[in-house]
Structure 1
Amino acid sequence: MVVAGGGTAGHIEPALAVADAVRRLEPSATITALGTTRGLETTLVPERGYTLQLIPPVPLPRKLNKDLARLPLRVVQSVKATRAVLKEVGADVVIGFGGYVSLPAYLAARLHVRRGRRIPIVIHEANASAGVANKVGARFADKVLAAVPDSGLDDAQVVGMPVRGVLAALDRDALRAQARQYFGLADVPTLLVFGGSQGAQRINDAVAGAAEALGEAGIGVLHAYGPKNSIDPKSPDGAPPYRGVGYLKRMDLAYAAADLVICRSGAMTVAEVSATGLPAVYVPLPHGNGEQRLNAVPIVDAGGGVIVDDADMSTEWVATHVPAMMADKHALAAMSQAALSTGHRDAAEAVAAAALELARSRR
């Protein structure tokens, strides 16, 4: 099997979650991940124990410029390199998750013939609004799956978002004490803060600026601010710890330590947070075509969180609303149950099973 989901964590994590599920369902399967030197996959894939094959990147320009003129040649070069990988590993199926790694994978699988048959393609769309690569690939894919309804891919089967098994089965209550000890937190109501793999300056400034109010309310904070950013929270004397880290490698323990999270609403983030039943304040990234807001809407409509516009996420908002939210334990418990009710804990297995079925049918 070849999984294509490089670039951002939002593409890589579901790909790796499905790879893990394939291993559970078919331990003898050989799995190769496609990626480029540009993405986080150069770190994340080897850390998870999978082989990574690099291909030339094919970024899709959104404007008329020189990059658009170079696009056809880049596609040809990347497809050629990808076909060489498919031949080398003896691919039986390609599973794509969108992004600039997936488009050459779809085209290469379409053109490559093995044992007299082309390589079947499974597509999974994570976002509420499908990207260009998956829209192209869906036209000739053998199986099209999606995290949510109405993603823009016709006849897509909705299976939810694949999340890591450790998160799908996470018991936050059972791990809470261990998790707080791991991060050096106190056994007090705890706020988790993160803005994606690179952090979010708006969220960083708003929460760090409210450190005094949070501390006075007896709230501990675990704040992942991004490896290229920094924060300078001013907690009052005697307040619970405010722990700042550049990046969270143990997201399972971070979710377990928390009672509430403030975060962006990328598809992967929403899926993980809801699957673990963590009440959330979602702050959609105010760029693109609004897909981050769309990702959060089903959870919020079910009662599992709230949406705060990026422009409204301020120190004043955090200082006013977060202590009140965290003081209402009954409301937090209801939000937790609502979030759990929207999650799809078996999505990774569903995608893996579809891919295995196609792979076996072609052998």
Structure 2
Amino acid sequence: MRIVLAGGGTAGHVNPLLATADVLRSRGARITVLGTAEGLEADLVPAAGFDMETIAKVPLPRRPSPALLTLPVRLQRTVEHCRRVLEGADALVGFGGYVSTPAYLAARGAKVPVVVHEQNASPGLANKVGASFADVVALTFDSTPLRCRKGRTVTTGLPLRAAIAHLAADRRDPQRSCSRRAGAAKRLGIDPQARTLLVTGGSLGALHVNEAVTGAAADLPEGVQVVHLTGKGKDGAVREAVEAAGVAERWLVLDYLSTMEDALAVADLAVCRSGAGTVAEMTALGVPCVYVPLAIGNGEQKLNAADHVASGGAILVDDARFTAQVVRERVMPMLVSDDLEEMARASADLGHVDAATELADIVEEVAKEGHR
């Protein structure tokens, strides 16, 4: 079976693509990835051992501009390039981004079966195009307003990288969860028995989140510890604040952690942004969250968190309203509340651990149906 996967630009598109490609490759499929030279896929795809066909980036202008005049010619050239790549393919799987639109159009012309995966709660333009003629549309979130017009729509969750998927499975088994937590705590140098708050703003960190949380550091409840990933170059002020608050011995400050699985293995509550990948990981892992969505785009981060919040497994605080007072009055009490265990169960009930496997199953099914 030969499968072509298209997606790129950001880690949010590339990571689920690679997770799905890994499963398909393990089953013997031959994989080709369509990507652009400018996106993260240019580095991540070859590093993962997959062949990548580089196509021209053809952004669709969202408002009138000179680029709109040349769009038809540029798009047609790229569609033709994609059609050549798709010759002999059994299915195309698109994950959105600039590269997916010409890939979808090429697949329709070549009558190659199409599976669309939408990462966000607010669907992107490329996947709206693909959904209009796809065989299956797979969603990360139930509430995403995207439906397959001719085939079926399913909610698979977001395909997770193997390390996170394995941790998610372990966290759902009490014995394995305890073992993973103990090992991670030992590597981090923290108490495996203490309730643990994870604070992270992603790889770049979130200065405002750092300031709000450390502003309430003096109110850290007894028996509670913090793992705080500040973002590169943002750890100095956090270290000073927790030293001044007298809680440095219970507040692990790291600017970056290459083994993020360790931080997630010990987390009982997380304060974090709500990108689609973060929400998918936290629910799969069964981690209750305080989401502080980054106000970008069309507010997609707030939408991404909506299902988790509605389930009772998370709360959401707008970035502008997230202050030291909010941390003191809402977040700190959660860490010593019996409700945290119920929130963890609600989170796990919502999460999808095997999304990559489920999506690979769908791709194989669609490919086989295309031969009938």
Is the 2:205–2:232 contact (alpha carbons within 8 Å) kept by the matching residues of 1?
Answer: yes
Q: Tell me, yes or no, if structure 1 residue 137 matches structure 2 residue 130.
A: yes
The 3-state SS of whatever aligns with 2:237 is coil
Indicate which of 244, 249, 255 corresponds to 1:239. 249
* Residues 264/86 of structure 1: CA separation in 2 closer, same or farther (3 Å cut): same
Is the 2:92–2:114 contact (alpha carbons within 8 Å) kept by the matching residues of 1?
Answer: yes
Q: Who is 1:205 aligned against?
A: 211
Whole-angstrom CA distance in 1 between matches of 2:331 and 2:212: 12
Identity of aligned residues (%): 46
Q: Tell me, yes or no, if structure 1 residue 21 matches structure 2 residue 23.
A: yes
With the length of structure 2 as denominator, give the TM-score of the two structures: 0.84
Whole-angstrom CA distance in 1 between matches of 2:60 and 2:263: 34
Whole-angstrom CA distance in 2 between matches of 1:202 and 1:58: 35
Whole-angstrom CA distance in 1 between matches of 2:367 and 2:22: 17
* Residues 178/46 of structure 1: CA separation in 2 closer, same or farther (3 Å cut): farther
Q: Tell me, yes or no, if structure 1 residue 331 matches structure 2 residue 339.
A: yes
- Larger CA deviation: 36-45 vs 64-73: 64-73
* Residues 334/141 of structure 1: CA separation in 2 closer, same or farther (3 Å cut): same
Q: Who is 1:96 aligned against?
A: 94
* Residues 271/142 of structure 1: CA separation in 2 closer, same or farther (3 Å cut): same
Whole-angstrom CA distance in 2 between matches of 1:200 and 1:34: 32
The 3-state SS of whatever aligns with 2:170 is coil
Is the 2:141–2:307 contact (alpha carbons within 8 Å) kept by the matching residues of 1?
Answer: no
Q: Who is 2:358 aligned against?
A: 350
* Cα shift readout 1:266-288 (whole Å, capped 9, x = no counterpart): 22211110010011011122232
Structure 1 position 264, deviation (Å): 1.4
Aligned alpha-carbon RMSD (Å): 2.7
Spell out the pairing of 1:212-223 with structure 2 (5 A cutoff).
Answer: 212-214=218-220, 217=222, 219-223=224-228
Runs of 4+ residues over 6 Å off in structure 1: none
Whole-angstrom CA distance in 2 between matches of 1:99 and 1:72: 18
Indicate which of 116, 131, 134 corresponds to 1:123. 116
* Residues 130/317 of structure 1: CA separation in 2 closer, same or farther (3 Å cut): same
* Cα shift readout 1:243-265 (whole Å, capped 9, x = no counterpart): 2233x443332210211111111
* Residues 176/67 of structure 1: CA separation in 2 closer, same or farther (3 Å cut): farther
Size of the aligned set, in residue pairs, is 351
Structure 1 position 217, deviation (Å): 4.8
Spell out the pairing of 1:15-54 with structure 2 (5 A cutoff).
Answer: 15-24=17-26, 26=27, 28-54=28-54
Is the 1:205–1:231 contact (alpha carbons within 8 Å) kept by the matching residues of 2?
Answer: no
The runs of 5 or more residues in structure 1 that have no matched partner are: none
Spell out the pairing of 1:296-315 with structure 2 (5 A cutoff).
Answer: 296-315=305-324
The 3-state SS of whatever aligns with 1:222 is strand
Whole-angstrom CA distance in 2 between matches of 1:31 and 1:58: 23
* Counterpart residue identity of residue 360, structure 2: A
